[in-house]
Amino acid sequence: MLDVLDLDFDLAAAILFRNAEWVVTADGLEHRDTGYDIPREAIDRRRGPELWDWPLHMAEKGWCTPSLFREAFLVALERYGIARDAALAESFALGFGIRASRSEGEAAFARLGEILRPRTRARERVAVAPTRRLAAQVAARV
């Protein structure tokens, strides 16, 4: 027997939400670049008695932008009729961390891995290079 494709299927109607990285469908969340999938039936999975698993798990992924994941995750909970609780905010804070900053966007987040294994800051590396150049220019003029 042949399977017949439904040519009237509207892909746009199947998408409940989309941002720059994530798509929320009736089946779950999917990362647009990697194809990483979070099934709808597993979205409210917990670690231990209270903490939500996905905010903690996704914090380990270097390709996951915290604010975009959080936005899509919260929309998915709303669309799926899953209630949020105080442990959700705690899970995001434990997973991604929060900088003491009032600015919005990515600057408001710090990955736990970056706190434990801080990288050399780019501006510190850049600040050294102009100083050496300046010293060479001064030495050439003398």
Query: What is the average pLDDT across 56-73?
Result: 92
* Placement of tokens 């510190």 in the chain: 124
Cα 102 to the center of its chain, rounded Å:
19
Q: Say if residue 69's pLDDT is above 50.
A: yes
Q: What is the pLDDT of residues 73-91, one digit of tens each?
A: 999 999 999 999 999 999 9
Domain locations in the chain?
11-141
> Order of strands across the sheet with 22-25?
15-18, 22-25, 28-31, 37-39
Range of lowest pLDDT (8-22, 27-41, 93-107): 93-107
In angstroms, rounded to a whole number, what is the distance separating the alpha carbons of residues 19 and 34? 14
The predicted structure's pLDDT at residue 49: 83
Question: Does 61 or 121 have the greater pLDDT score?
Answer: 61
Q: Which residues contact 47 (CB under 8 A, 6 or more apart)?
A: 53, 56, 91
pLDDT at residue 43 above 90?
yes
User: Residue 53: is its pLDDT beyond 50?
Assistant: yes
Mean pLDDT along residues 33-42: 95
The answer, yes or no, to whether residue 52 has pLDDT greater than 90, is yes
Give the predicted TM-score (pTM) of the model: 0.64
